[in-house]
Structure 1
């Protein structure tokens, strides 16, 4: 363990002056390297002598000859200064092509369906030795899981972050209606009457059937009939293929489901609030090369995935 009391007595600049004097054995050349005047270097040498209780360097002709104490401590001081220089040196740029390890991302299943596949595909090309791990996450547990190091960042609807977290806006996620054309013979745009009279299937992690859709309908003096509720978005396509019903879900996953399962997307006949999708990450990771590269890659991939799916929302390019 370091002796703090001993280290407090000495200035790091004095050790640097000692190292240069050992290399040059000449006050003028050493002062020039240190960007000091000769009086300044002489003052530093005086302090060194007082601190170490040794003359350290003796003038012999036009040069300096180190004492036995100076020769004895020189290797250790040189190693210490080299170690400090390496420690504070700017880190090398992150190289995804050679990096081996895990990138971990937290998302709920609707965003995971839209973005995980494209993200994994891009990583397999740009970081072929890395592995992508998706972690089930929601806004309530996102901060705690982030602090526990469960993932690099979370993509969700996040609450006001702690001071040691950063919340970066990505896009505003709107909700759309989804149904199977063989089960419901409806025309777009949907009429409010058709929307109210059709059976509805909802997605609720807690098993609740009420949502922002019901709140919006109630403000307009209407209500709907919910016939089923599922805990995961992955169950919706089969439910809509099997029964005449409407699901009102985030546009990002609705676009994916429509393409894969032959479902129809329609705008809801009532005004629904958009959900602000954000990225949440730790402030200590803000400038880390690996974490920064991964965040920027996700932003690029998400923007391309939304564009390819035909979704209307745009994504922020900051990371």
Structure 2
């Protein structure tokens, strides 16, 4: 273990001056390398002599001759300074092509359906040695799982973050209605009357029946009949193919379901607020090369996937930004 009391007595700049003097054995040349005037270097040498209680260098002619003490400590000081220089050297840029390891992310199931496949395909191209793992989670546990190291980041409609987390916006998630036109004989766009009178299927991990859809309907003087509630969005397509019903789901997954299962899409016949989909990650990972690369890749994948599915939403790049001044202020 380091002796803090001993190290407090020494200035790192003095050790650098000692190292350069050992190499140059000349005050003028050493001062030039250290960008110091000769009086400044002489003052540093005087402090070093007092600290180590040894003359260290003796002037012989126009040069300097190190004392036995100086010669004995020179290798250790050189090694220490070299180690410090290596430690503070800027890290090498992350190379996804040669990296071997696992990327773990948290995706709620509607976003997983939209983005997991495209992200896995992109990773296979750019980081063939990497493995992608998607973790299921309840957004109420998102922050805890992040702190426990369950994943690199989570994508959801997150609550207000802790000061040691960063919640970066991705896009505004609007809602669409989906149904099987073979069972429900309604032409798009749905009328308010058709919407209110049709059976409805909802999604809720907690089993909650009432949603913002019901609140919006109530303001218009209507109620709907919820006939089934599933914990995951994956249950919706087969349910809608089995019975006449409507599901109101996020736009990104609505397009996927419609294309894969021949379902019809319609905007809701009333205004619903958009949900802010965000990326939650740890502040300590903000400047990490590997994490930053993955966040940037995910933003690109989201943008491309939404454009390919026909979603008219803008994707923010805030999730992959790294601003050193902000980071410095937060420490």
> What TM-score, normalized by structure 2, do the two folds share?
0.95
Q: Residue 244 of structure 1 aligns with which residue?
A: 244
| Structure 1 stretch displaced more, 200-209 or 113-122 | 200-209
Aligned twin of 2:98: 98
Q: 1:107, CA displacement in angstroms?
A: 1.0
How far is the alpha carbon of 1:40 from its aligned partner?
Answer: 0.8
Match status 1:267 vs 2:286: no
Correspondence for 2:178: 178
Matched, 1:204 2:207: no
How far the C-alpha of 1:139 sits from its partner, in A, is 2.1
Aligned counterparts of 1:80 and 1:253: Cα–Cα separation in 2: 56
Task: Specify the SS of the correspondent of 1:315.
Answer: coil
The Cα shift of 1:200 comes to 0.5
Moved over 2 A (4+): none
Q: How far 1:273 moved relative to its partner?
A: 1.2
Partner of 1:41: 41
**1:142-291 maps to which residues of 2 (within 5 A)?**
142-291=142-291
Task: Show the 5 A alignment for 1:92-131.
Answer: 92-131=92-131
- Name the counterpart of 2:328: none
Partner residue, 1:62: 62
CA contact (8 A) 1:10 1:51 kept: yes
Deviations 1:188-241 (A, max 9, x none): 110111111111111111111111111111111110011111111101100000
Contact 1:138–1:156 under 8 Å retained in 2? no
Specify the alignment match of 1:2 in structure 2: 2
The alignment covers a number of residue pairs equal to 319
Q: Distance in 2 between matches of 1:171 and 1:251?
A: 11
Equivalent residue number for residue 308 of structure 1: 308
Contact 1:25 1:64 in 2 (8 A): yes
**Structure 1: gaps spanning 5 or more residues:** none
Whole-angstrom distance in 2 between the partners of 1:312 and 1:214: 25
CA deviation string 1:266-315 (max 9, x = no partner): 00111111111011111111111111110010000000000101112221
Kept in 2, the 8 Å contact 1:57–1:66? The answer is yes
More displaced stretch, 137-146 vs 282-291: 137-146
Find the aligned partners of 1:43 and 1:313 in 2 and give their Cα distance.
64
TM-score, normalised to structure 1, is 0.99
Q: Tell me the C-alpha RMSD between the 2 structures.
A: 0.8
- Give the match's secondary structure for 1:141: helix
Give how far 1:103 is off: 1.2
**1:185 Cα deviation after fit:** 1.2
How far is the alpha carbon of 1:260 from its aligned partner? 0.5
Contact 1:171–1:278 (Cα < 8 Å) also in 2: yes
Q: How many Å apart are 1:100 and its aligned residue?
A: 1.1
CA deviation after TM superposition for structure 1 residue 317, in Å: 2.4
8 Å contact from structure 1 (residues 107, 138) kept in 2: no
Q: Give the Cα–Cα distance (whole angstroms) in 2 for the partners of residues 158 and 207 of structure 1.
A: 19
